[in-house]
Amino acid sequence: MSRYTVAVLVRNQFGVLNRVTSMFRRRQFNISALTVSETETSELSRITVVFGGEEIAKQQLINQLYKLPDVCSIKEFSEDNSVSCELLLIKMKNEASSREDIRNAADAFGAVTVDYSKDYITFRLADSSRKIDDFINLLREYTILEICRTGSVSLEKGSTTIRQIINL
Amino acid sequence: MLLSGSDILVKTLIEQGCETVFGYPGGQFLNVYDSLYKYQNEINHVLTAHEQGAAHAADGYARTTGKVGVVISTSGPGATNLVTGIATAYLDSVPMVAICGNVPTTQIGTDSFQEIDITGVTLPITKHNYFVSDVADLADTIREAFRLAKSGRPGSVLIDVPKDVQIAKCEYEAEAPVECDEPFAAKEVRIKEAAEIVNSAKRPFIYFGGGVITSNAQEEVLALAEKIDAPIGCSLMGLSAIPTDHPRFLGMQGMHGHYASSMSMHNADVILSLGVRFNDRVTGNRTKFATGAKIVHIDVDGSELNKTVNSVCGLRGDVKLTLQKLLPLLNEGTKHDWMAKVDSFRKEEETYLDHREGLTPRRAILTLNKHLGENTAVCTDVGQHQMWSAQNLSFRTPRRFLSSGGLGTMGFGFGAAIGAACGTKERSVLVTGDGSFGMNLNELATAVRYNIPVVILIMNNGVLGMVRQWQTLFYNKHYSNTVLECKTDFTAFAKSFGADGEAVASPEELDMALSRAFETEGPYVIDCSIDKDEFVLPMLPPGGSMDDIIVKLEVEE
């Protein structure tokens, strides 16, 4: 099983996310992460799908996406041709015994402290999904109170854009 | 000109070439019905007994004419009653636009009386659907729905129109009917690949489905078969594209397909698949399906390629245009050994044919064949009678066999037959079973109201025959809830609805009854007795392969 990242440009219309996710559900695609937001133009939204499965399932997912009239363009990303980033917020129990270790781990990963009290500490980390996985795994030794991550967003390297595929 | 939303709705339908809509009125659609009253000289409305019947009628109209079928209904239960019809059309790739009313936009989301989230309900069974919240968008939404319904792989599209949008006024100007998206052939490079594979074939088999009818590619299919010397088989949805008596045509393939067709496909080294989707009823056990064959697959819907079976060459494109480009690249050749083998399958098939005396299912359909005109549309419901029809009807004209292939909708046939008669402006035939007929027999009221000539042949065996067949074979003859034990007198039923009919118990009686039916102006019901233990054969057991095919049953006493 491989991991694929697919960016989908859709018409920014009411219910479009529901159309996309409903298709994933009924065809039983296993989605690991999904993000959606407006783009440089208000007419279009961009959905980034991270998906685990076989190559043939990925092709089927792309084919099925193309059948949705609201889908304007699809681009598949590999690690080589794209930059990706995900945002993590993680809240830790702040105990005297582990405080030093936790701070050191955060410094090593470049995580920023965004909230702090004597009982808890919250970090923010923006990095690749893999780095975020590593950071979380490191912190599992201590007491994690809450985790929230956004799912990965990706852009192609170089000057080409997803809109050029369809000449929008 | 300044018009109300409901006027715009009806005017846009007229503008798009819609001559007949099927439907049923109700509270949240009163304005549209008022506009239909206003424009009754320009558009025809067929009132059915139930919204489901209207949806199937729009479907039957679309299947026979190739035009977009239109069905309308009110909100809530009216809309949910359309659902089976919309799904049936969607799975068989039939162009259909369903339009329903809804509560005013100010009440949406409050669980008002007869409010239902129909765009949510129909999301997985439409190509696309729309909730129109502004009257300014209404005409263009309908136009886009028509374009989507008939473009590429056709399908159903739904439009939800709240009552206040029907009332609101807006400028309207008529436009020309929308064109389909331009059909396109597959990529050159793929066509060349396909040509190489087909040219290397020693035992080619052409397998086509509903996509050939949609793209009107029957001539190309025949030219292809002649050129490479190949036999032709098809799926249920492909039936009627090629005349039954064509020497290269082996008939339907699959679970209840013709023996020679299924065997030829199983023994082929290249299967050229045209506008098909390799449904499980066709392949049986996919791991054992045509293991010795390379599959070349042409379909307008790219997502069908490699969906259920792997092809060595997948071509996304219109079947007709792609075949036109493929044909010149193919070598002419005769394949004596292969065609001799195909002939031997045919001869073997003949030995399995049912020649028993009396009113057997096969004899009933063969008797019906004698009465069918070139242009008569035959519709079926779902079950044994459907397979007997598919196996034994003689087809002459494309778009004249209507059956629910994908969804397998019992109750499809009567609505479809009404729609087919409206579409062809000729008498249509419904072959049904007593089980299926029971589902939507209320539409006899519709046929009588409009004096629609439909010959209804009920193959009445008092049981749910197909389910019973499975119970006999795979469930130890536990006939759980498949014995109907109805005391329905279908002749009296027909008469009570204002139609005519009779019961028959022999081939001769059936023949005479059909003669009377084909001379009757309105609907005519023939209650044709069939033994409850008749089987549909051959049969490929579910999940089985061609090695497991059942061609004859040893009768156990």
Q: Minimal Cα distance from A26: which residue of B?
A: B124
Does residue B158 sit at the A interface (CB-CB below 8 Å)?
Answer: no
Q: Are B256 and B535 in contact (CB under 8 A)?
A: no
Q: Are B238 and B303 in contact (CB under 8 A)?
A: no
Q: Do B374 and B435 fall into the same domain? A: yes
Please report whether residue B496 resides in a domain: yes
Specify the pLDDT at position B546. Answer: 83
Contact A18 B123 (CB under 8 A): yes
pLDDT in tens, B211-244: 999 999 999 999 999 999 999 999 999 999 999 9
The mean pLDDT value for B346-358 works out to: 93
Q: Minimal Cα distance from B153: which residue of A?
A: A67
Please report whether residue B550 resides in a domain: no
Indicate if the pLDDT at residue A166 is higher than 70: no
Q: Do B335 and B446 fall into the same domain? A: no
User: Which residues of B are the active-site residues?
Assistant: 51, 113-114, 163, 466
Please report whether residue B486 resides in a domain: yes
Query: Domains in chain B: how many in total?
Result: 3
| CA separation for the pair B544, B539 (Å, rounded) | 10
- Consecutive H or E run containing B252: strand B249-252
- Other beta carbons within 10 angstroms of residue B107's beta carbon come to 16
The beta-strand segments (E) located in B85-179 are: 96-102, 128-131, 156-162, 169-171
pLDDT in tens, A89-146: 999 999 999 999 999 999 999 999 999 999 999 999 999 999 999 999 999 999 999 9
pLDDT band at B327 (very low <50, low <70, confident <90, very high): very high
Least confident interval from B101-105, B247-251, B269-273, B281-285: B281-285
Q: Do B460 and B346 fall into the same domain? A: no
Of A26, A59, A69, the CB nearest to B124: A26
Specify the pLDDT at position A165. Answer: 64
The mean pLDDT value for B391-406 works out to: 97
Kindly report the CATH number assigned to the domain that includes residue B304. 3.40.50.1220
* Span between the terminal Cα atoms of chain A, in Å: 34
Contact B127 A67 (CB under 8 A): yes
Q: Do B463 and B526 fall into the same domain? A: yes
pLDDT band at A1 (very low <50, low <70, confident <90, very high): confident
- Choose among B396, B438, B430: nearest CA to B413: B430
Least confident interval from B99-103, B291-295, B449-453: B291-295
Query: What is the interface size between A and B, counted as CB pairs within 8 Å?
Result: 30
Sign of CA dihedral A66, A69, A73, A77: negative
> Can you say whether residue A155 is alpha, beta or left, with left for phi > 0 and alpha for psi between -120 and 50 degrees?
beta
Please report whether residue B383 resides in a domain: yes
Of B124, B128, B306, the CB nearest to A56: B306
Q: Do B47 and B87 fall into the same domain? A: yes
Q: Do B320 and B421 fall into the same domain? A: no
Specify the pLDDT at position B189. Answer: 97
pLDDT in tens, B163-190: 999 999 999 999 999 999 999 999 999 9
Question: What residue has token string 């499809």?
Answer: B412
Mutation target to probe the A interface, by most A beta carbons within 10 A, among B130, B307, B309 is B307
Please report whether residue B90 resides in a domain: yes
Specify the pLDDT at position A168. Answer: 45
pLDDT band at B326 (very low <50, low <70, confident <90, very high): very high
The complex's ipTM works out to 0.86
Q: Are B69 and B62 in contact (CB under 8 A)?
A: yes
| Boundary-marking domain end, from B171, B198, B214 | B171
Alpha carbon of A33: minimum distance to chain B alpha carbons (Å): 22
Q: What is the edge-to-edge ordering of all strands in the sheet holding B428-433?
A: B401-402, B377-380, B428-433, B454-460, B524-529, B500-504
pLDDT in tens, B425-459: 999 999 999 999 999 999 999 999 999 999 999 99
Specify the pLDDT at position A167. Answer: 44
Q: Do B249 and B391 fall into the same domain? A: no
Indicate if the pLDDT at residue B507 is higher than 70: yes
Contact B131 A60 (CB under 8 A): no
| Boundary-marking domain end, from B305, B322, B351 | B351
- Choose among B85, B88, B110, B109: nearest CA to B98: B85
Domains of chain A listed by start with CATH number: 2-77 (3.30.70.260), 83-153 (3.30.70.1150)
| Boundary-marking domain end, from B136, B171, B206 | B171
Indicate if the pLDDT at residue B557 is higher than 60: no
Alpha carbon of A62: minimum distance to chain B alpha carbons (Å): 8
The mean pLDDT value for B262-276 works out to: 96
Q: Minimal Cα distance from B121: which residue of A?
A: A22
Specify the pLDDT at position B547. Answer: 83
Assess whether the previous peptide bond of B507 is cis (omega < 30° from 0).
no
Indicate if the pLDDT at residue B484 is higher than 60: yes
| Percentage above 90 pLDDT, chain A | 82
Set of chain B residues whose Cβ sits within 8 Å of the Cβ of A60: 303, 306-307
Contact B306 A26 (CB under 8 A): no
Indicate if the pLDDT at residue B556 is higher than 60: no
Does residue B302 sit at the A interface (CB-CB below 8 Å)?
Answer: yes
Domain of residue B343 covers 188-351
Alpha carbon of A71: minimum distance to chain B alpha carbons (Å): 11
Specify the pLDDT at position B555. Answer: 52
Please report whether residue B317 resides in a domain: yes
Alpha carbon of B159: minimum distance to chain A alpha carbons (Å): 14
Contact A63 B302 (CB under 8 A): yes
Q: Do B342 and B379 fall into the same domain? A: no
Buried b / exposed e along A68-82 (16+ C-beta atoms within 10 A): bbbbbbbbbbeeeeb
Q: Do B309 and B420 fall into the same domain? A: no
Does residue B123 sit at the A interface (CB-CB below 8 Å)?
Answer: yes
Of B119, B123, B306, the CB nearest to A59: B306
Mutation target to probe the B interface, by most B beta carbons within 10 A, among A17, A29, A59 is A59
What SS3 state is found at B70?
Answer: strand
Specify the pLDDT at position A115. Answer: 97
What is the residue-averaged pLDDT of chain B? 96
| Chain A residues near any Cβ of chain B (below 8 Å) | 14-15, 18-19, 22-23, 26, 56, 59-60, 63-64, 66-70
Set of chain B residues whose Cβ sits within 8 Å of the Cβ of A67: 127, 301, 303
Kindly report the CATH number assigned to the domain that includes residue B97. 3.40.50.970
Q: Do B381 and B454 fall into the same domain? A: yes
| CA separation for the pair B327, B298 (Å, rounded) | 13
Q: Do B298 and B377 fall into the same domain? A: no
Does residue B147 sit at the A interface (CB-CB below 8 Å)?
Answer: no
Set of chain B residues whose Cβ sits within 8 Å of the Cβ of A18: 120, 123
Contact B303 A63 (CB under 8 A): yes
Please report whether residue B238 resides in a domain: yes
Q: Do B118 and B265 fall into the same domain? A: no
The pTM assigned to this predicted structure is 0.94
Within 8 A by CB and 6+ apart from B364, the residues are B388, B457, B459, B507, B510, B528, B530
Indicate if the pLDDT at residue B141 is higher than 50: yes
The mean pLDDT value for B92-99 works out to: 98
Q: Minimal Cα distance from A55: which residue of B?
A: B306
Does residue B307 sit at the A interface (CB-CB below 8 Å)?
Answer: yes
Q: Which amino acid is at B111?
A: D
Please report whether residue B129 resides in a domain: yes
Mutation target to probe the A interface, by most A beta carbons within 10 A, among B127, B303, B307, B308 is B303
